[in-house]
Amino acid sequence: MKLLVIRKKSLPDRVLGELYTDGKYFCKTLEDAKRDKKIMNETCIKAGTYPVIVNMSNRFKRLLPLLQNVPEFEGVRIHSGNTPADTSGCILVGEKYDNKFNLVNSSPFEKTLIERMQTDKEKHSIEIREEFDGLL
């Protein structure tokens, strides 16, 4: 499965975007802020393309997508969550944003994404692209 995150809006404490699976819109995303220099647990990963596997997360105690070979980062996952406090460099997924730009209805999107990835026997990858236009 080919995943694509298009980062659309950069705010001081978060980056908002959209996740596509095999070219089709899937959901909204939330990541830590974009920074010139990495701050532990407060910075999004660099745009680029990374291999992805689904495996057991020791931290979350469930199967989650894990991005591999991410420069300066370890343990970057795609999972449910609502605010930048939930990310620690990971990519959060959800239905939409509330009026404070927090994700809403996140858990069902995590579950559906993992189910789709486990069904797809192809190798998985994710491309993260920046197209900051401010439109959501």
Express each pLDDT in 121-136 by its tens digit: 889 999 999 999 867 6
Chain-centroid distance, C-alpha 38: 17
Q: Residue 136's pLDDT is what?
A: 67
* Low-confidence residues of the chain: pLDDT under 70: 134, 136
Q: Residue 16's pLDDT is what?
A: 97
- Fold of the CATH domain 2-130: L,D-transpeptidase catalytic domain-like (2.40.440)
Q: Contact, 20 vs 7, CB < 8 A? A: no
Could you tell me the pTM of the whole model? 0.95
Q: Residue 128's pLDDT is what?
A: 98
What is the spatial distance between Cα 66 and Cα 136, in angstroms, rounded to a whole number?
26
Q: Residue 47's pLDDT is what?
A: 97
Q: Residue 121's pLDDT is what?
A: 82
What is the spatial distance between Cα 109 and Cα 27, in angstroms, rounded to a whole number?
7
